[in-house]
Amino acid sequence: MRHSNGIRRAALATTAVTAVAAAVTGILPGTAMAASTTTSTPPPACPASALQVSAWQAAHPPVGTGTGAAIVQFTNVSQKTCVLKGYPTVTGADNTPLKVTPTGKAAAVTVRPQGKAWVKLTFVQVQGEGDGYCVSGNTPAAYPTMVIGLPNSGKHQVALKDGWWAQCDNKVTATPVSTVKPS
């Protein structure tokens, strides 16, 4: 008898532990737990049609005249959350591509409807007054608009709210797109 009581108590204890585990996990005894197959799909890249793009001169440009630095704002005007990532491409209104030097680390940023993201562009500054000059000896370029692109999100022709885009040497330093507004 003694032997069977010990077995019976062990069986009852095992059953109690199994019942508690089933209650906590929601898994019935004797069933296998399948690996979770649900994954969170990230939002898609923002299509060009989802973005309204504007630009203005930065509050803290380098010394000189002309644009110097500009803030480009991307506003998600769609009804869906989407993602922006990377560094911009920059082309003058006359189709002259500017060599972009990236600065900082790029990461995907999620932009909700009516949300905003920014990049800061810093140009080789035009010096002097009037027609100005480039320290390099090259002729300065001034554009009423620039074409700003982001990977997988199209290209956008953008005018500055407060002047023309002016630069030397067809070079620009660019921050990656970010939800932190630069100055």
What is the model's pLDDT at position 34?
A: 44
Average pLDDT over residues 115-129: 92
What is the model's pLDDT at position 21?
A: 42
Q: Is the pLDDT of residue 133 over 70?
A: yes
Pick the more confident residue, 174 or 59.
174
**DSSP secondary structure code for residue 107 in this structure:** -
- pTM comes to 0.76
Q: Is the pLDDT of residue 39 over 80?
A: no
Closest CA to 176 of 148, 150, 147: 150
Match 């810093």 to its residue by tokens: 122
Closest CA to 165 of 101, 98, 106, 119: 98
d(CA 8, CA 2): 10
